[in-house]
Amino acid sequence: MNDVPEGFDERSLLDEAQRATGLSDFGSDDFRDGLRALVGIAAQNPMTEKGRAQHRGRLIQLLSTRLKVEEAFRRHPEIREREIVRPMFLTGLPRSGTSALFNLLAADPAARPLLLWEGIFPDPAWDLAPGEEDPRYRAMKAISEQTREKNPEFTKAHFADADTPEECVLLQAFALDGGQLGYELMLEPYASWFAEHDLGPLYRYYADLLRLLDWQRPGERWLLKTPSHLWGLDQLIETFPDCSVVWNHRDPAVCIPSISSMIYMIVNDRVDISAEAFGPLVLEHYAASMDRGLAVREQLDPARFIDVDYDALVKDNLVAAESVYRHFEMPFDAAREAMEGYSRSHPKDKHGKHEYDLASFGLTREQVRERFAAYVGRFEL
């Protein structure tokens, strides 16, 4: 299974992206190791015919966008000189309330969250008239509606629309690195490569993409979120030295089956792997990310972080939001009204309740809490 599948050789993927765009410059070669690891997934795992086609198509799409991003930097080299000032990053285990808090904080008019459609299409649309809506936004809006209708169970777990705030792994994917769609992190050889390689080039490219989006649609303060930042807290802070970090916490015995269920909805028709075999891979990936994050945090200024407990967030999300602003000495009064309005219109489980259980993924509560024992003990979860 280690031979490169037909159509997945590196040169053919690069050539197809270049033909599709009419461009040739991919920028730094830092992306090539990640590309090879992602290609390796198709070689080393029993992907379905549909999964293999989707995987190949997505790689070409990522490479094509990378070409268009480099063209934007070529036309406007000043983009790379923009400053990203005091960004705020949310992280923590997935399903620990990071999305709920992210969406709430994004209601602040001063916040500049990454939106789903621009995470998919960070490159400029050059031919738009002033004030004209990007047609890719309209297309993404339609696709999102179709996806929700087709997969209502996934919508219960994670509602997404073209203009909702979304995880910044979308941007990291264009480095052929980062969290990708989630399931790649659990499959070899990408899983081992991701856990062991230097994340510096990823975060430098990620920062350039933020500058590119800020150049197109500037905001007062960037607000970004992904659990994957636990893997690279040191590189995150080296890249954005004036950033703040909000870290959500929840019992991992609840988080792990929830994220396993969510990712398995994506992987199920792409790779021939049972839920019982997939669950332990998810457990180990996120436990390792927590180990890495906690170890790095010990070396950093505690004032840079604030911890948000899931139960406290659910009990009173406005109090939780205000505690974040107070900790980082940010004015809250101007944000309060907008957040109150968002909270009223977005009650918990508005799109349905996501059901899941550990046993379906070959795990027990005791097994999960034992693997996360240091984390559970530190934060009394």
For residue range 325-376, list pLDDT tens digits in order: 999 999 999 899 999 999 999 887 554 555 678 999 999 999 999 999 999 9
3-class secondary-structure state, position 299 = coil
182 vs 204: CA distance, rounded Å: 21
The pLDDT of residue 349: 57
294-311 as b/e: b if 16+ CB within 10 A:
bebbeeeeeebbbebbbe
pLDDT: which is higher, 148 or 242: 242
Local structure of residue 320 (DSSP, 8 states): H
pLDDT: which is higher, 232 or 163: 232
3.40.50.300, 3.40.50.80, 3.10.20.30, 3.90.1110.10: CATH of 86-379: 3.40.50.300
The pLDDT of residue 129: 80
In 3D, which of 17, 5, 149, 114 has the Cα closest to residue 71? 17
- If pLDDT is split at 50, 70 and 90, which confidence band does 294 have? very high
User: Which residues lie across from 225 on neighbouring strands?
Assistant: 90
Report domain extents, the chain: 86-379
pLDDT above 80 (res 147): no
Retrieve residue 293's tokens.
């994050």
The pLDDT of residue 156: 56
Collect all residues with Cβ–Cβ distance below 8 Å to 366 and sequence separation of at least 6.
none
The pLDDT of residue 1: 45
3-class secondary-structure state, position 91 = strand
Phi (first) and psi of residue 62, to 5 degrees:
-65, -45
CB atoms within 10 A of CB 31: 21
The pLDDT of residue 152: 67
The pLDDT of residue 303: 96
Q: How do residues 173-229 score in pLDDT, each as one tens digit?
A: 999 999 999 999 999 999 999 999 999 999 999 999 999 999 999 999 999 999 999
